[in-house]
Amino acid sequence: MTHASENLASRLRQVLAAHLADPRRSRYCVAFSGGLDSSVLLALMTAIVAEWPDATLRAIHVNHGLYADADRWQSAAQAVAQKLAVDFSAIRVAVAEDAQGGVEAAARDARYRALADVMVAGEVLVCAHHLDDQLETFLLQLMRGAGLAGLAAMPVVRDLGPGLLLRPLLSVSRDELCDWARQNAVDWCEDSSNQDQQFARNYLRHRILPLLRERWPTVAGSVARSAAHCAEAESVLAELAEQDLGEPLADTAYLAAVLSTEKFDGLSAGRVRNLLRYWIRSRGYPVPGHGRLAEIIDGVVHARPDAMPVVRWRDTELRRYRDKLYLMASLGEAPDQVLAWDTDKPLALPGAMGRLELAPADLACGDGAMAERLLDRHCTVRFRVGGEYFRPAGGRRKPLKKWLQERGIPPWMRSRLPLVFCADRLAWVPGIGCAEELLAREGEDGRIICWQRAPEVNSRLSRRPASGIF
């Protein structure tokens, strides 16, 4: 390697050492488009990992299928990886070209979802975003009227799926990457879509940035410092939000994150907005824009206690029931099918509702142990249609509707609760428990029914320790 080449490799090692507990023993996955930036990154990572026998490296290409050349780009990326003797795989994603927020955002969201899905625990996804990308991101966020979180642009490291996303080249300019590629005979594929100026980033790159650099040659470094200042200020606001949030009671319930409206009592308008943004973002949901946030505050947070308002944005919704806010993915139609359940196996529920499974009676994840002998009978899972009666352990027989109201189960969940029937008798209701007549008695073997979250829901709701019913 030349001196300049070794310098770039050294800078990359320093970033890995600064952000990873044990970089020499880590599992790395390069997000590999086959373009200049990711090709340089893959070549650098290949050389570095070759020095670390306990580290592993692979490359993943995401094929968005948006252009006629997409398959050719995938083949070219695979050829580069094979030349470097790096394990290669490709993922195809579907991107709606008429997606709300634009095709760029939809492609980005689909890409990160797909990458997170294939990562293994503890793996580090390494991305080739560089200094000029950071400049573009800052300016795009500025044009959208973003707050501090948006103006902080791209962090060097963040959580992604079961591992980390790392951007070790954010201090490196594209010109430096191009020089390194030429000096080291790196092969890469030119993505013709980067010339398409209907996309905001490309318009900025080809039309606006040349003028800015002509007047302010160091604009990329200056803006990167401003982004770092914004990130620092945002971290201070996050600390304030953590203090305002405290330890929320009933942190999760019924596939949603839950927050008591009491948390907003006595807070200034700015701190209310800050707490809401922090809570929504920390749960992995998209933060609503300024207008939608105002609608949430006026129409949901400050709604009458007996109101049940809902605000929706970007496949997310926020509801209120009594004195609590419920944050969740947008609900589809309530299921109406009858599912046969072989209780020897977990039962997958429709949509993102998770699964039902049996557990030993001493595992506290359900509501009362059911007599095991009764579970050998024909069991089905159904959803409420109205008119059901239920007598839970220690209770009296009355309409299920009354029990759901008394237990504070939100109205929108009542038609979505998986009700377990044994021999056509309602045997178990989530949040209420096992039927009195089916309860395991003293000395009798019993099993508990557990309603487990779907992985995509669990990944959001387990960002903080959960308490209460999910």
Q: Is 469 a residue whose pLDDT tops 80?
A: no
What is the distance of C-alpha 174 from the center of its chain?
Answer: 29
14 and 150 belong to one structural domain:
yes
| Residue 230, domain member (yes or no) | no
Region 397-415 average pLDDT: 93
252 and 318 belong to one structural domain:
yes
Instruction: Give the number of domains in the chain.
Output: 3
pLDDT in tens, 61-112: 999 888 888 899 999 999 999 999 999 999 999 887 776 667 888 888 889 9
253 and 386 belong to one structural domain:
no
153: left (phi over 0), alpha (psi -120 to 50) or beta: left
Element of type H or E holding 400: helix 400-406
| Residue 461, domain member (yes or no) | no
Among candidates 77, 29, 62, which has minimal Cα distance to 186?
A: 77
123 and 24 belong to one structural domain:
yes
Assign 424 a pLDDT band (cuts: 50, 70, 90). confident
Per-residue model confidence (pLDDT) at position 250: 44
6 and 127 belong to one structural domain:
yes
Is there a contact between 9 and 44 (Cβ–Cβ < 8 Å)? yes
Tokens of 161: 């799926």
| Residue scoring higher pLDDT (16 or 197) | 16
Contacts 24+ apart (CB under 8 A), 467-470: 467/249, 467/250, 467/251, 467/252, 468/249, 468/250, 468/251, 468/252, 468/253, 468/258, 469/250, 469/252, 469/253, 469/254, 469/430, 469/431, 470/252, 470/253, 470/254, 470/255
Using the 3D structure, point to which of 329, 349, 366 is the last residue of a domain: 329
Per-residue model confidence (pLDDT) at position 223: 96
Boundaries of domain holding 300:
246-329
Arithmetic mean of pLDDT over the chain: 88
Alpha carbons 409 and 218: distance in angstroms, whole number? 57
What CATH code is carried by the domain that includes residue 269?
A: 1.20.59.20
| Residue scoring higher pLDDT (167 or 352) | 167
To the nearest whole percent, how much of the chain has pLDDT over 90?
64
What CATH code is carried by the domain that includes residue 161?
A: 3.40.50.620
**459 Cβ neighbours under 8 A, 6+ residues apart:** 161, 284
193 and 319 belong to one structural domain:
no
Place of tokens 């919704």: 317
343 and 282 belong to one structural domain:
no
| Residue 91, domain member (yes or no) | yes
Per-residue model confidence (pLDDT) at position 197: 86
**DSSP character for 410?**
-
Q: Is 193 exposed, middle or buried (0-12, 13-18, 19+ CB in 10 A)?
A: middle
Per-residue model confidence (pLDDT) at position 394: 87
Strand bridging mode 124-126 / 163-166: parallel
392 and 284 belong to one structural domain:
no
pLDDT in tens, 146-177: 999 999 999 999 999 999 999 999 999 999 99
Per-residue model confidence (pLDDT) at position 219: 96
Q: Is 448 a residue whose pLDDT tops 90?
A: no
Supply the pTM of this predicted model.
Answer: 0.78
Alpha carbons 389 and 399: distance in angstroms, whole number? 4
376 and 415 belong to one structural domain:
yes
Q: Which 3 state secondary structure label does DSSP give 206?
A: helix
Strand bridging mode 163-166 / 157-160: antiparallel
| Residue 160, domain member (yes or no) | yes
Of 56-70, 163-177, 347-361, 408-422, highest mean pLDDT: 163-177
Min mean pLDDT across 67-81, 264-278, 443-457 is at 443-457
Alpha carbons 94 and 107: distance in angstroms, whole number? 8
| Residue 311, domain member (yes or no) | yes
Per-residue model confidence (pLDDT) at position 465: 33
70 and 190 belong to one structural domain:
yes
Per-residue model confidence (pLDDT) at position 294: 96
Q: Is 468 a residue whose pLDDT tops 60?
A: no
Alpha carbons 429 and 255: distance in angstroms, whole number? 15
| Residue 117, domain member (yes or no) | yes
Q: Is 385 exposed, middle or buried (0-12, 13-18, 19+ CB in 10 A)?
A: exposed
196 and 256 belong to one structural domain:
no
| Residue 49, domain member (yes or no) | yes
Region 284-306 average pLDDT: 93
Alpha carbons 368 and 224: distance in angstroms, whole number? 56
Sheet of 370-371: strand order equals: 347-348, 355-360, 446-452, 370-371
| Residue 164, domain member (yes or no) | yes
307 and 357 belong to one structural domain:
no
